[in-house]
Amino acid sequence: MLTIQGLSYAYSDRFLFKNLSFHLNPGEVVKISGANGSGKTTLIKILTGILKNYEGKILLDESNNESLKNLSNEIFYMGHKNALKENLTVQENLQHDFRLINSDKKKLESYLEKLNLKEFLLTKISELSEGQKRKIILACCLASNSSIYLLDEPFINLDTESQEIIMEAIDSKILNGASIIFTSHDQNIKNSVELNLNDYKS
């Protein structure tokens, strides 16, 4: 489905990673790990098409697409930052969230309920904790019908109960053929293949 061939990225004349290659099939999970500053967020941004000045090839379904642009509606991107408007309420943010383009509204409501967010729908984002903000994006992620999920530190600031709910939902997405690439220092998703960026320094 997705093949990365000889991917290299340099920042200020220093290679963050060099000759990175891997393959991702439907229903597979790749965990990107590595030390701080090893390029985990950069790799996710390259795959989403945000960063373009890289070397190497990103092939999708055997055709060279340079990035996953042609499938931008099939991709769910969760960045390091939440892209939520602090002075709007949770509900207002969700009404204007472009991540929900390809998603199931009923599923979203159900995950908001499971993650204890329903009672905060009319609360401003600025009044929520970092963990609650992350859970809003994860609820969008779980409600999405995308086929590829690019998640940057998805489990950061989450409580154990929420992590369990999310892991369970992610497992069922994988069973249904979704592919996931995520970055994390400590958390893991069942059956994920680990790719340590420290091994691609030079």
Partner 1 sequence: MNFIKTFFSREILVYSKKSSNIISPIVFFLICITFFPLAVSNDPSQLSRFAPGIIWICILLSGMLSVQTIFKEDFDDGSLDLFYAKDFSILQIVLIKIIVNWLFSALPLIILSSSMVFLLYFPISNLLNLLSSLLIGTIIISFFGALAGALSLGKNSILASAIMLPLSLPVLILGSSASTYSSENIGFFLLLLLSLLFLTIPIISLACMGAIRLHYE
81 binds partner 1 (CB under 8 A): yes
Q: Strands of 25-137 (E only): list them.
A: 29-33, 55-60, 63-64, 75-78
72 binds partner 1 (CB under 8 A): yes
The one segment of 74-82, 110-118, 169-177, 190-198 that binds partner 1 by CB under 8 A: 74-82
Residue from the set 49, 59, 65, 171 that interacts with partner 1 by CB under 8 A? 49
Report in angstroms how near the CB of residue 136 gets to partner 1 at its nearest: 13
Looking at beta carbons only, is 137 or 174 nearer to partner 1?
A: 137
87 secondary structure, DSSP code: T
Question: Which residue has 């790719």 as its token pair?
Answer: 195
Residue from the set 83, 168, 190, 191 that interacts with partner 1 by CB under 8 A? 83
Residue from the set 6, 23, 80, 199 that interacts with partner 1 by CB under 8 A? 80
Report in angstroms how near the CB of residue 156 gets to partner 1 at its nearest: 14
Phi first, then psi, for residue 156 (nearest 5°) are -65, 140
Count of C-beta atoms within a 10 Å radius of residue 49 = 17
What is the C-alpha separation between 30 and 98, in angstroms, rounded?
A: 25
Residue from the set 87, 122, 160, 186 that interacts with partner 1 by CB under 8 A? 87
Residue 149 near residue 179, CB atoms below 8 Å: yes
Looking at beta carbons only, is 97 or 171 nearer to partner 1?
A: 97
66 binds partner 1 (CB under 8 A): no
Looking at beta carbons only, is 27 or 49 nearer to partner 1?
A: 49
40 binds partner 1 (CB under 8 A): no
101 binds partner 1 (CB under 8 A): yes
**Exposure class string for 160-172: b at 16+ Cβ within 10 A, else e:** eebeebbeebbee
Closest Cα to residue 21, out of 66, 56, 65, 67?
Answer: 56
What is the C-alpha separation between 138 and 146, in angstroms, rounded?
A: 13
Q: Which residues bind partner 1 (CB under 8 A)?
A: 45, 48-53, 69, 72-73, 75, 77, 79-88, 92, 96, 98-101
